[in-house]
Structure 1
Amino acid sequence: MRNDSEKLHDIQEAIIKIDKYSVQGKEEFFSNELIQSWILMQLQIIGEAARSMSKEIHQKYPQIPWQDIIDFRNLLVHEYFRVDLKLVWRIVEKELPELKEQISLIIE
């Protein structure tokens, strides 16, 4: 079983993987199903890591929207037909950079 530190690294690694392809831009994201699938999978990994982390970590770092991350993971996994790619891109562009910074600070 993975510990909280490993799960934080999983989140960090998934964000780096998203960055690798999202840097190609919005137009490429919307036109390339492989990039969409790749990014959605990495967002699921982020959500799964957040979901399985201890309550202590969630309480210690309340600035991270743990429940929103978990809820989005549940949408991706269980209600994938409701996934709005515009929302996904907005998360990638606006929210992941901040999450990346917060996770890096925790890991340090």
Structure 2
Amino acid sequence: MKDEIKKSLLDIKISIESIFEYIQDVDTLEKYQNNKLIRRAVEREIEIIGEATNRIF
């Protein structure tokens, strides 16, 4: 496997782990929707996942 693909997969893994960390104490959708900081952080991690996915394909 090429190094660039490995790096992209690692970026995806790290972003997924980060999302789980951000939302670990958020037990309802309402809490998520009302927390702008968490929403923005999760959105950014999803962007990173998308960018890494594009690098793979």
Aligned equivalent of 1:47: 50
Would you say how many aligned residue pairs link Structure 1 and Structure 2?
53
Distance 1:12 1:18 in 2: 10
Q: Pick one of 27, 30, 40 that aligns with 1:27.
A: 30
The two structures have a TM-score, normalised by structure 1, of 0.46
Which stretches of structure 1, 4 residues or more, deviate above 4 A after TM superposition? none
Distance 2:30 2:22 in 1: 12
User: Which amino acid in structure 2 is aligned with residue 31 of structure 1?
Assistant: N
Q: CA RMSD in A?
A: 1.3
- The structure whose RCO (Cα within 8 Å, separation 6+) is larger is 2
Shift of 1:39: 0.2
List per-residue Cα deviations over 1:76-98 (Å, max 9, x = no partner). Answer: xxxxxxxxxxxxxxxxxxxxxxx
Q: Percent identity?
A: 28
Distance 2:18 2:47 in 1: 12
Distance 1:5 1:11 in 2: 10
Shift of 1:27: 2.7
Gap runs ≥5 in structure 2: none
Gap runs ≥5 in structure 1: 56-108
Distance 1:29 1:7 in 2: 27
